[in-house]
Amino acid sequence: MLNEVLLAGDRRTDAAADEPRAGWRPPVPSLSPSADTVTLLHDAILRKLAYAIGKSPATARDRDWFAATALALRDRVLDACLSSAAPPVPQKRVYYLSLEFLIGRLLSDVMGNLGLAETARAALAQLGVDLDAVAGAEPDAALGNGGLGRLAACFMESMASLAIPAYGYGIRYDHGLFRQVIEDGIQREVPETWLAEGNPWEFERPDSACMVGFGGEVAMTVLADGAIRRVWRPAELVRAVPFDTPVVGWGARHVNVLRLWQARALEPIDLARFNAGDHVGAVAERSRVEAISRVLYPSDGTPAGQELRLRQEFFFTSASLQDLVRRHIAERGDLRTLPDHAAIQLNDTHPAIAVPELMRLLVDEHGLPWDDAWHVTTHTLGYTNHTLLPEALETWPVELMERLLPRHMQIIYLINWMHLEGLSKHGKVDAGQLAAVSLIDEAHGKRVRMGHLAFLGARRVNGVSALHTELMRQTVFAPLHALDTDKIVNKTNGITFRRWFHNANPGLTRLSVEAVGARVLDDPTALEGLARFAEDAAFQERYAAVRRERKEALARVVKDRTGIAIDPAALFDVQIKRIHEYKRQLLNILETVALYQAILAEPQRDWPARVKLFAGKAASSYHQAKLIIRLACDVAKRVNADPVVAGRLQVAFVPNYSVSLAEAIIPAADLSEQISTAGLEASGTGNMKLALNGALTIGTLDGANIEIREHVGDENIFIFGLTAAGVQATTAEPGYAARAIAASPRLKAALDLIASGGFSPEEPHRFRPLVDELTGQDRYLLTADFDDYWRVQREVDAAWRRPRTWWRAAILNTARTAWFSSDRTMREYAEDIWRVEVA
Ligand SMILES: *Cc1c(COP(=O)(O)O)cnc(C)c1O
Could you tell me if 256 and 247 are in contact, meaning their C-beta atoms sit under 8 angstroms apart?
A: yes
Q: What is the mean pLDDT of residues 820-839?
A: 96
- Region 565-573: mean pLDDT is 98
**569 in a structural domain:** yes
Q: 104: CA distance to ligand 1 center in Å?
A: 12
285 pLDDT higher than 80: yes
Q: Is residue 445 part of a domain?
A: yes
DSSP per position, 144-173: SSSHHHHHHHHHHHHHHHTT--EEEEEE--
Active site residue 578: yes
User: In this predicted structure, what is the pLDDT of residue 326?
Assistant: 98
Q: Are 820 and 809 a contacting pair, CB within 8 Å?
A: no
Same domain as 365, residue 392: yes
Distance CA 387, CA 463 (A): 9
Whether the CB of 683 sits within 6 Å of ligand 1 = no
For residue 303, the model assigns a pLDDT of 53
- How many whole angstroms from 660 Cα to the centroid of ligand 1? 11
Considering the domain boundaries, does residue 776 fall inside one? no
Which among 491, 689, 711, 766 is annotated as catalytic?
A: 689
Q: Assess whether pLDDT exceeds 50 at residue 54.
A: yes
pLDDT in tens, 580-620: 999 999 999 999 999 999 999 999 999 999 999 999 999 99
pLDDT higher than threshold 70 for residue 727: yes
Q: Which of the following is catalytic: 685, 697, 700, 814?
A: 685
Considering the candidates 583, 626, 648, 709, report the single residue annotated as catalytic: 583
Those residues whose C-beta lies under 8 Å from the C-beta of residue 36, and which sit 6 or more positions away, are none
Indicate whether residue 676 lines ligand 1 (CB < 6 A).
no
> Is the model's pLDDT at 524 over the cut of 50?
yes
CA angle 334, 338, 339 (to 5 degrees): 145
659 lines ligand 1 (CB under 6 A): yes
**Gyration radius (Cα) of the chain, Å:** 27
Residue nearest to atom 8 of ligand 1 (CA): 684
> For residue 230, which amino acid is it?
R
Query: pLDDT over 90 for what percent of the chain?
Result: 89
Mean pLDDT of 189-218: 97
Maximum CA extent, the chain:
93
φ, ψ (nearest 5 deg) of residue 56: -100, 160
Answer whether residue 37 is part of any domain: yes
Q: Are residues 306 and 442 part of one domain?
A: yes
Q: Ligand 1 centroid vs 686 CA: distance in angstroms?
A: 5
pLDDT category at 301 given cuts 50, 70, 90 is low
DSSP 282: G
- Cβ(678)–Cβ(726) under 8 Å? yes
Give the closest residue to 146 by CA, choosing from 154, 156, 138: 154
d(CA 283, CA 272) in angstroms, rounded, equals 11
Q: Is 689 tagged catalytic?
A: yes
The separation between CA 583 and the C-alpha centre of its own chain, rounded to angstroms, equals 16
Answer yes or no: is pLDDT of 27 > 70: no
pLDDT of residue 161: 96
CA 719 to chain centre: 25
Does ligand 1 lie within 6 Å of residue 150's CB atom? yes
Residue with CA nearest ligand 1 atom 10: 146
CA 154 vs. chain centroid, Å, equals: 8
Residue 637 annotated among the catalytic residues of the structure: no
- Does residue 82 register a pLDDT over 80? no
Q: Answer whether residue 746 is part of any domain.
A: no
Q: Which phi and psi (to 5°) does residue 174 adopt?
A: -60, -40
Ligand 1: does its nearest atom lie under 6 Å from the Cβ of 658?
Answer: yes
Residues 502 and 460 in one domain: no
Same domain, 552 and 484: no
Give the C-alpha separation, 788 to 726, whole Å: 14
Do 91 and 129 fall within a single domain? yes
- At position 144, the amino acid (one-letter code) is G
Q: How far is 636 from 649, CA to CA, in rounded Å?
A: 10
Establish whether residue 667 lines the binding site of ligand 1, counting it when its CB lies within 6 angstroms of any ligand atom: no
DSSP state of 715: G
pLDDT at 304: 55
What average pLDDT does this structure show over 485-489?
97
Report the candidate in 635, 502, 715, 621 with the shortest Cα–Cα distance to residue 187: 621
Buried b / exposed e along 654-687 (16+ C-beta atoms within 10 A): bbbbbbbbbbbbbbbbbbbbbbbbbbbbbbbbbb
Pocket test for ligand 1, best of 143, 150, 465 (most atoms within 8 A of CB): 150
pLDDT at 302: 57
460 in ligand 1 pocket by Cβ < 6 Å? no
Give the model's confidence band at 86: pLDDT under 50 very low, under 70 low, under 90 confident, else very high.
low
Residue 33 has pLDDT above 90, yes or no: no
| Same domain (yes/no): 296, 385 | yes
Q: What backbone phi and psi angles, to 5 degrees, belong to 227?
A: -70, 150
Is residue 577 flagged as an active site residue? Answer: yes
> From the alpha carbon of 661, which atom of ligand 1 is closest?
13
pLDDT at 427: 76
Candidate of 143, 496, 505, 577 to mutate for ligand 1, largest count of ligand atoms within 8 Å of Cβ: 577
Whether 567 and 464 map to the same domain: the answer is no
Q: Give yes or no for a contact between 254 and 24, defined as CB atoms under 8 angstroms apart.
A: yes
Select from 256, 252, 214 the least CA-distant residue to 235: 214
Provide, rounded to the nearest whole percent, the portion of the chain with pLDDT above 70.
95
My answer on whether 424 and 411 are in the same domain is: yes
Domain-embedded: residue 245: yes
User: What whole-number distance in Å separates Cα of residue 834 and Cα of residue 248?
Assistant: 21
Rounded Cα–Cα distance for residues 449 and 456 (Å)? 11
pLDDT of residue 84: 55
Cβ–ligand 1 contact at 660 (below 6 Å):
no
Number of structural domains in the chain: 2
Q: Looking at the CA of residue 576, tell me the nearest atom of ligand 1.
A: 7
Pocket of ligand 1 contains residue 721 by CB under 6 Å: no
User: What mean pLDDT is predicted for residues 328-352?
Assistant: 98
Q: Is any ligand 1 atom within 6 A of the Cβ of residue 577?
A: yes
Residue 572 has pLDDT above 90, yes or no: yes
Average pLDDT over residues 249-270: 95
Q: Residue 142 pLDDT more than 70?
A: yes
Q: Which residues sit opposite 96 in a β-bridge? A: 168, 345
Nearest CA-CA partner of 464 in 740, 226, 224, 707: 707
Q: Are residues 233 and 106 in the same domain?
A: yes
Per-residue confidence band for 3, with pLDDT thresholds at 50, 70 and 90: very low
The pLDDT-based confidence of 389 (bands split at 50, 70, 90) is: confident
Residue nearest to atom 15 of ligand 1 (CA): 659
Atom 11, ligand 1: residue with shortest CA distance: 146
Both 423 and 550 in one domain: the answer is no
State the pLDDT at residue 298. Answer: 67
Q: Is the pLDDT of residue 697 over 50?
A: yes
- If residue 110 lies in a helix (H) or strand (E), which one and from where to where? helix 107-114
Domain-located, residue 758:
no
CA angle 525, 526, 528 (to 5 degrees): 80
Instruction: Evaluate if residue 61 carries a pLDDT over 70.
Output: yes
DSSP state of 495: B
Instruction: Determine if ligand 1 sits within 6 Å of the CB of residue 617.
Output: no
Residues 428, 528, single domain; the answer is no
| b/e burial code for range 140-152 (CB count within 10 A of at least 16 → b) | bbbbbbbbbbbbb
How far is ligand 1, taken at its centre, from the CA of residue 497, in Å? 15
Among 108-117, 388-397, 624-633, name the one with the lowest average pLDDT. Answer: 388-397
Closest CA to 536 of 510, 517, 515: 515
Indicate if 600 and 462 belong to the same structural domain.
no
Asked if residue 208 belongs to a domain, the reply is yes
**Spatial separation of the C-alpha atoms in residues 278 and 272, rounded to whole Å:** 9
**CA torsion through residues 827, 828, 830, 831, sign:** positive
On average, the pLDDT of the chain sits at 94
Q: CA-CA distances (angstroms) from residue 169 to 97, 147, 178, 748?
A: 5, 17, 22, 50
Q: How many CB atoms lie within 10 A of CB 570?
A: 20
Say if residue 395's pLDDT is above 50: yes
pLDDT computed for residue 444 by the predictor: 83
DSSP result, 770-819: HHHHHHTT-TT-HHHHHHHHHHHHHHHHHHHT-HHHHHHHHHHHHHT-GG
Domain that holds residue 354: 5-492+826-834
Give yes or no for residue 509 having a pLDDT over 50. yes
CATH of the domain at 402: 3.40.50.2000
Burial 393-412, CB ≥16 within 10 A → b, else e: bbbbbbeebeebbbbbbbbb
CB of 147 sitting under 6 A from ligand 1: yes
pLDDT class for 712, splitting at 50, 70, 90?
very high
